Amino acid sequence: MHIFGTNMASGAFVSLVKKDLLMEWRQKHALFGVLLYVGATVFVVYMMNGQPDARVWNALFWLTQLFVAVNSMAKSFLQEHPHRFRYYFTIVRPATFLLAKMVYSTVLMVIMCAISLLLYSLMLGWPLINTGLFILIAITGSLSLSVVFTFLSAIAARAQQNASLMAILGFPLVTPVLMILSKLATAAVQPVYMPGWWGLAFVLLGLDVLIVLLGVILFPFLWQE
């Protein structure tokens, strides 16, 4: 019975992720809207400042990822109709539903991050001295931002669909994440010695794990509202 239940949960998890990805693909206007935003932001930065130095390039990249995450992840839960939540309540566990949303958001954010890197390299140059390290940090950053904003989107969706609540709660949570990501990425854009780099990396991963655990613990109570 335990194995059967585990297979049912994993099947529901995969189905939920596929459902969200298919909905994103069908609603191309939302996806292209975010892509247009990224392209316009990079183009405006290029027109105003040309190709910035490495430190400014790094800061601008993470600020762009922040706004991409806000625009992309906000609709993770907010696009779901309240009546649909009642249907999900009858067929899937709340933790499974939340984790599926986080995986979907991470996949979407990684794609957006890759497109951002491409646009940055075309218009703002490529000042990286360690491309592999920066790409690894970018993937980790996509995971971190996705986890944070998916968790906040879940809270906002269950609080009378109040999207402004996500922005208010997001600032104190996402600020340390962005600061850590920027510090970690400095090692990939400048040849500087950074003592404590691995400590920052473990702090970031620990913060991600903590948010996921908080979501798994707290979301069932929101789910029942």
Higher pLDDT, 141 or 153: 141
The tens digit of pLDDT for each residue in 112-126 reads: 899 889 988 888 888
Pairwise CA distance, residues 200 & 137, whole Å: 12
Instruction: Look at residue 79 in the predicted model and tell me its pLDDT.
Output: 65
The tens digit of pLDDT for each residue in 28-70 reads: 666 777 778 888 888 888 888 778 888 889 988 998 888 888 8
Pairwise CA distance, residues 193 & 84, whole Å: 52
**Where would I find the beta strands (DSSP E) of the chain?**
none
Judge whether 155 and 216 are in contact, CB under 8 Å: no
The tens digit of pLDDT for each residue in 82-92 reads: 667 677 777 78
Pairwise CA distance, residues 46 & 56, whole Å: 12
Q: What share of the chain is helix, strand, coil (3-state, %, to 5)?
A: 85, 0, 15
Pairwise CA distance, residues 175 & 181, whole Å: 10
Pairwise CA distance, residues 128 & 57, whole Å: 10
Judge whether 104 and 76 are in contact, CB under 8 Å: yes
Instruction: Give Dmax over CA atoms of the chain in angstroms.
Output: 63
Tally the residues of the chain. Answer: 225
Helices (H) and strands (E) in the chain, counts: 9, 0
